[in-house]
Amino acid sequence: MNTKNLIPLSLLYIQYNLEMSFFFKLHEMGLLEILTVDETKYVRPESVHEIEKMIRIHEELEVNIHGIDVILNLLEKIELLQNELISVKNRLSLYES
Amino acid sequence: MAFIDYYKILEVDKKATEAEIKKAYRKLARKYHPDLNPNDKEAERKFKEINEANEVLSHSENRKKYDDYGENWQHAEEFEKSKQHRQYQGNGQKGGYEEGGFSGSGDFSNFFESMFGGRSTAGGSRREAQFKGQDFSTELHLDLKDVYSTHKRTLTINSKNIRITIPAGVENGQQIKISGMGGEGASGGPKGDLYITFTVANHTEFKRDKNNLYASVALDLYAALLGGEITVATFDGKVKLTVKPGTQNGTNVKLKGKGFPIYKKEGEFGDLYITYQVKIPTDLSQKEKDLFMELSKLKTS
């Protein structure tokens, strides 16, 4: 696998000043995809947005990994509902003069 | 610039202990944190407000200054000067305070900046160092006519011009992400993304439901009764239609492929549904009345 576009996990420990175990726990919970190439662990660049969100929730709100999982599930649900609401509002305009 | 009551913002008493302030801040942060309230401007504003209140009340030095001057904060500089020089006679000058003298990042109010200099004291609660660049978001207001065809537009985001393609068929409230168009990453981190939310206003006679369009067409009584040919406006032109004799009021006609472009499916369109509104003539002449009477008798006999 070409690792050119991947981000070594070791870089993230340093960058965020976090324990390695934090990332492995996220991986165990199915919240983070960790790729292993030649015994080096990487994450995809597109995961960084979610990683940073999870770190903020963890550090700023003192939420543990299980809590992060619950929050992300609820946020996903909110997003679906918000999109549905937009779609319903758009349809409603059909019946408004 | 108005005085800000930080105790009220954190919903604590003026005599609250450090622990009580911390607890109140944590509780409100869990409620208004931007990651838990995506696309919610009011929550974002509240979050900034409680952070600022926490910045002042959770640092003893800041809290003391705030408590000492309270609503007389505008004279804080004067008082400080007087204290330093041990001069108690009043002076009419406003000390070193200059309105707008600080170019804050927008995270703090003018009130905060004038009192504390707009700088967060050490140990702020927000994580500053990010690896990925900052995400930007903007709203783009368009007209329904604008999104009928794919077009390019230049946006100015953080004083940088970005040229984007807006695909035909974008919906009102739709959000698109443009990867890598956000801020620069730190230490080789990926660039942030740009999120654009479209607000599409409809000032046309057509109503839109996703890819389909709906319109009412006035139909002359005689055309409805006897049939005929009429010209109907579509979104981008006109089409000739044959009206069947005996067409009822409220009849729907589907014009296939005359609706709105389908998002990211070039050349594909939804349908246009037209509803006939039969116009009953008013202000009839005597001759017309007589003729209608005759018709009416013909029908009943």
Q: Find the closest chain A residue to B35 by CA distance.
A: A53
Picking from A52, A82, A86, the nearest residue to B130 by CB comes out as A52
State whether B125 and A89 contact (CB < 8 Å): no
Instruction: State whether B125 and A12 contact (CB < 8 Å).
Output: no
DSSP A61: S
Nearest CB neighbour to A57, from listed B35, B129, B131: B35
CATH fold of B136-201:
HSP40/DNAj peptide-binding domain (2.60.260)
User: In chain B, where are the structural domains located?
Assistant: 6-116, 136-201, 207-300
Q: What is the pLDDT of residue B116?
A: 81
Structure tokens at B117: 């200099």
Residue B258, token pair as written in the block = 């005359």
Chain B nearest-CA distance from A2, in A, is 17
Q: Is the pLDDT of residue B84 over 90?
A: no
Cβ burial, residue B8 (10 Å; 0-12/13-18/19+) = exposed
Q: What is the pLDDT of residues B25-41, one digit of tens each?
A: 999 999 999 999 988 88
Domain ranges of chain A: 7-92
CA distances in angstroms from B261 to B107, B202, B240, listed in the order given: 42, 15, 21
Structure token digits, residue B212:
């389909």
For residue B126, list chain A residues with Cβ-Cβ distance below 8 A.
60
Domain B6-116 part of CATH 1.10.287.110: yes
The reply to whether CATH 3.30.390.10 applies to domain B207-300 is: no
**Closest alpha carbon to B25 in B44, B2, B7:** B7
Pair A55, A15: CB distance under 8 Å: no
Reply yes or no on whether the pLDDT at B100 is more than 50. Answer: no
Residues of A in contact with B179 (CB under 8 A): 46
- Say if B136-201 and B207-300 have the same CATH topology: yes
Q: Name the pTM for this structure.
A: 0.76
Kindly list the residues from chain B whose CB atom is less than 8 angstroms away from the CB atom of residue A5: none
Does the distance separating the beta carbons of B193 and A57 come in below 8 Å? no
Tally the C-alpha atoms within 13 A of residue B208's C-alpha that lie toward its C-beta.
Answer: 27
- Minimal-distance CA residue of chain A relative to B51: A60
Of B127, B207, B214, the CB nearest to A59: B127
pLDDT surpasses 50 at B94:
no
| Chain A neighbors of B214, CB-CB under 8 A | 94
The tens digit of pLDDT for each residue in B241-271 reads: 999 999 999 999 999 999 999 999 999 999 9
Q: Give me chain B's average pLDDT, please.
A: 86
- Return left, alpha or beta for B204; rule: phi > 0 is left, psi -120 to 50 is alpha, else beta: beta
The stretch B115-139 carries a mean pLDDT of 69
Across residues B88-111, what is the average pLDDT?
A: 45
Q: Which range among A59-68, B12-21, B117-126, B174-183 shows the weakest confidence by mean pLDDT? A: B117-126
Architecture of domain A7-92: Orthogonal Bundle (1.10)
